[in-house]
A = this chain, B = another copy of it.
Amino acid sequence: MSYSIDSDRLMADLRALAEFGKRPPGVHRPAFSAEDIAARKWLMTKLKEAGLTPEMDRLGTVIGRHPGAKRAILVGSHTDTVPNGGWLDGAMGVIYALEIARTIMENEPDGEIGVDVIDFQDEEGSFLSVLGSKVFVGSASLEDALDQTNHEGVKLAEILPTLDLPDGDIRLDRDRHVAFLETHIEQGPRLLSAGVPIGVVPSIAGIRRYEISTEGRPDHAGTTPVPVRRDAGMAVMCVATAIDAAFRQAASDGSTGPGAGDAVWNAGAITFRPGAYNVVPEAADLLFEIRAPDAETIAAMDSVIRKTAEREARARDVELTITDKANVAPTAMDDGAQQALRDGAGDLQMKYMDLTSGAGHDAMVMADHVPTGLMFVPSINGRSHCLDEDTDEADIIAGCKAMFQAVRRLRSSLS
C-alpha cells in the first residue's frame, strides 16, 4: 500500500490532452472532429507506453486492456466535449483511468483482476448522447449509430469514412468486465459548498421532459378587456410560476415530496404566437423538465405538474395540452461499487458525500449491464459545458487518489 499515483504525471497528461482542440481556457473537441480523433490516437500511444494493449474501434471508442488478465475492472469515461467545452469534464475520468492502470502495471500488474481503460465515443451527443457506451453494451446497434445525424443533418455514416478509423468493434466482454468505474466533474456547486472533495453517486436522476401548450384566442390587446380574454401566454406563465412555487415549497418543507432533496426542474424555453405587443397570445408553448433520483419523486412531481397546469388553464379558460418529450427512469449505481468508492476515500481520510447525478453519463448506460460506480470531484463555481469549466488542482489529484484506492479495494474484493 506504500505506492500511489504520480500526481505530476497525471497533471501533465491532462494538460497534454487539453492541447487537442484547445480554446483557452477550455477545449472544443466534439466527437468525430479531427481534434477528437487525434486525441484518441494520442491516448492509444499513452496506453501502449503504460504497458496496456490499446485498441480503437470503427467509431473511435478506445480501450486499453490489461495484458494477461482474464477479468478486469473497466475504468474510464469520454474525451469528446461539447462545443466550446471544458478541459476536464469526461477527459479527467479517462486520464484518471490511464494513471491508475499505469500505476498498477508498474507496481502490482499480476493478480486475478486487471484494469482496462475505456474512452467512450460521443458521450456528448454530437450525433447521439452516450452513443459509444450504448454501442459498447449493445443497447444501440452499429446501424443505429450510423443512421444518426448531427445538427447539420449529416449522417454519421457519411462522416465516418473521412476519418481514417480502424475496422474493428469494441464490445462489453461479459466474462472479462466485472465492474465499471467512472469519474466525472460534478458540473454543479454542491461539493464545493459543502467543502467535501469526493462525491459518491447513489443514483443518476431520472428525467421527464414536457411540452406544455396552451391555446386561447388572439384578441386585440387594446380593445379587449382583460377579464374576457383567453390569454394563452399569461396562462402558460402562470403554469410555470405556480409549479416552481409548489416545488420550492416542498423543498423548503424538507419533505420527501415533489421538489425535495436532489430534485431539480427547469423552464428552459417558451414561445407565444403570434408574438406582438398588441395581440393577446393565441397559443403558447413551454419546455419544462424535471429530474429526481428516484421514481417516486418523479411521479409526485409529474402529478404536481399536471394538476397545476390543469388548474391554471381552467382559471384562464385556455385549452391545455401536455406532451411527453422524454421519460428516462432513474438509474441506481451498484451498492458494492458505491461502497468501494466510500471506503477508498475513507482509507485516505478524505471527506465524501452522496450526490445524485443530475446529468446523464456513460455510467447510466453501463449500470444496466455491469456493476457500476460513479464518482464526482468538485467543479469551481459549478461551471460546466463551457470554456471556463475548471477544478482546483488539489481536488483533481485527490480525486485520482481516491479512485485509485477504490479500484484497488474493488480489485481485491472481487478476486
Q: Measured between alpha carbons, how far is A225 from B260 in the docked complex, in Å?
A: 11
Q: Which of A62-70, A90-98, A272-280, A295-303 is near enough to bind chain B?
A: A272-280
Is A186 engaged at the interface, CB distance under 8 Å to the other chain? yes
Rounded to whole Å, the gap between the CB of A356 and the closest CB of chain B is 9
- A358:B220 contact, CB within 8 angstroms: yes
- A188-B223, A220-B187, A359-B222 known; A278 and B267 CB under 8 Å? no
Q: Which residue of B lies closest to A228 (CB)?
A: B189
Q: Does A323 contact B (CB under 8 A)?
A: no
Whether A161 is near chain B, meaning CB under 8 Å from some CB there, is no
Q: Is the interface of A mostly helix, strand, loop or mixed?
A: mixed
Residue in B190, B240, B289 whose CB lies within 8 Å of A225: B190
Whether the pair A276, B269 counts as a contact (CB closer than 8 A) is: yes
Residues of B within 8 A of A234 (CB): 240-241, 244, 267
CB-nearest residue of chain B to A248: B226
Asked whether any CB of chain B lies closer than 8 Å to the CB of A150, the reply is no
Which residues of A are in contact with B by a Cβ distance under 8 Å?
186-190, 193, 205, 207, 209, 218-228, 231, 233-234, 237-238, 240-241, 244, 247-248, 251, 262, 264-272, 275-281, 287-289, 291, 325-326, 357-360, 382, 384-386
Quick check: B240 and A222 within 8 Å, CB to CB? no
Contact status of A275 and B269, CB under 8 A, knowing A187-B220, A220-B358, A223-B187: yes
Complex partner residue of A277 from B193, B289, B357, B384, CB under 8 angstroms: B289
In the assembled complex, 25 residue pairs joining A and B whose CB atoms fall closer than 8 Å, in A order, are A188-B219, A188-B220, A188-B224, A189-B224, A189-B225, A189-B228, A205-B222, A209-B277, A218-B386, A220-B384, A222-B264, A222-B291, A222-B357, A222-B360, A223-B357, A224-B358, A225-B264, A233-B267, A233-B268, A234-B244, A237-B241, A267-B272, A268-B272, A269-B272, A269-B275
